[in-house]
Amino acid sequence: MNVAKLAPHFIARELRERYRGSFTGFGWALLQPLLQLAIYSFVFVQVFKARLPGADAPGYVPFLVVGLWPWAAFSDAIARATSSIQDNAGLIGKVALPRAVLVLAPCAASFLLHMAGFVAIVVALALAGKGILLAWLPVALLLYVPLFVLAFGFALALAALQVFVRDLAQVIGQALMLMMFLSPVFYTRANLPADWQGALDLNPFTFYAESFRSLLLGYGDFDLHRLLVACAIALVALAAGHWLFRRLDPHFEDFL
């Protein structure tokens, strides 16, 4: 009984569970980020009159879409996976199973839903003539792979720690909000004072926000060197998360 064999069952269960009881079913997966997008567009475009620097700058809405959807996948995966071990206490106490699959399921489900939403809205924007480089979409989707690895690494560590530190689930929501505002999701690097621009690279999500835009909007350059660094960071996060999870896994049942 291994993770790979069980994962499809748990991911399917997670997907069903997430939208069970809601009227729109899976539609909600698309609706929720759309609503979010509407709110942010209103605030930034209508109220703050946000303008992107540069002569070839895209419109603000495509700019936001391309950065916000990957972020939604990343943060939703982490937020949901953090409590996954605690939520499955009943199962853990009754059935012997590889517990990492309980963390994998919400992560994978979040990415699948948000990637589907991403494809839909990017195609919609391209059809609406918003300057999307649609040919690059398959390449852009590959960026989700290291992003998922990064999120899963964080999720493993957080889910294991959550068993011992119950406040974590509350804290993580705020921490993710902070991380979002400290990455160029709503602004560009050029909007920051020159001294702070380099600090942006400390945030692992910065690379993804900038690279998605470079690929799909032609806004900024795509740097292969930074891609390698991002992949390395993702693998280190996974290794660290996996180490912590393995270390604490035998003791979950004692503290649930």
Contact between 246 and another protein per CB under 8 A? no
Write down the least CB distance from residue 164 to another protein, Å: 4
Min dist. Cβ of residue 93 to another protein (A): 6
Tell me how far, at minimum, the Cβ of 200 lies from another protein, in Å: 32
User: With binding defined as CB under 8 A, does residue 227 bind another protein?
Assistant: no
CA distance 99 to 122: 35
By CB under 8 A, residue 168 contacts another protein: no
Residue 95 touching another protein (CB under 8 A): yes
DSSP string covering the chain:
--HHHHHHHHHHHHHHHHHTT-TTTTHHHHHHHHHHHHHHHIIIIIIS----SSTT---HHHHHHHHHHHHHHHHHHHHHHHTHHHHTHHHHTTS---THHHHHHHHHHHHHHHHHHHHHHHHHHHHTTS---GGGHHHHHHTHHHHHHHHHHHHHHHHHHHHH-TTHHHHHHHHHHHHHHTTTTSS-GGGS-HHHHGGGGGSHHHHHHHHHHHHHH--S---HHHHHHHHHHHHHHHHHHHHHHHHHGGGHHHH-
Quick check: 233 binds another protein (CB under 8 A)?
no
Kindly tell me the burial class for residue 74, based on how many C-beta atoms sit within 10 Å of its own C-beta (0-12, 13-18, 19 or more). Answer: buried
Question: Of 169-198, which residues contact another protein (CB under 8 A)?
Answer: none
Residue 111 CB, nearest distance to another protein (Å)?
A: 21
**Is residue 92 close enough to count as binding another protein by CB under 8 A?**
yes
Q: Which of 161, 169, 231, 233 binds another protein (CB under 8 A)?
A: 161
CB of 15 to another protein, least distance (A): 13
**Which residue, 28 or 136, is less far from another protein as judged by CB?**
28
Residue 105 CB, nearest approach to another protein (Å): 12
Q: Does 93 bind another protein (CB under 8 A)?
A: yes
| From 3, 17, 25, 48, residue interacting with another protein (rule: CB under 8 A) | 17
User: Is 20 an interacting residue with respect to another protein (CB under 8 A)?
Assistant: yes
Give the residues lining the site for another protein (CB under 8 A).
Answer: 1, 5-6, 9, 13, 17, 20, 90-97, 161, 164-167, 244, 247-248, 250-251, 253-255
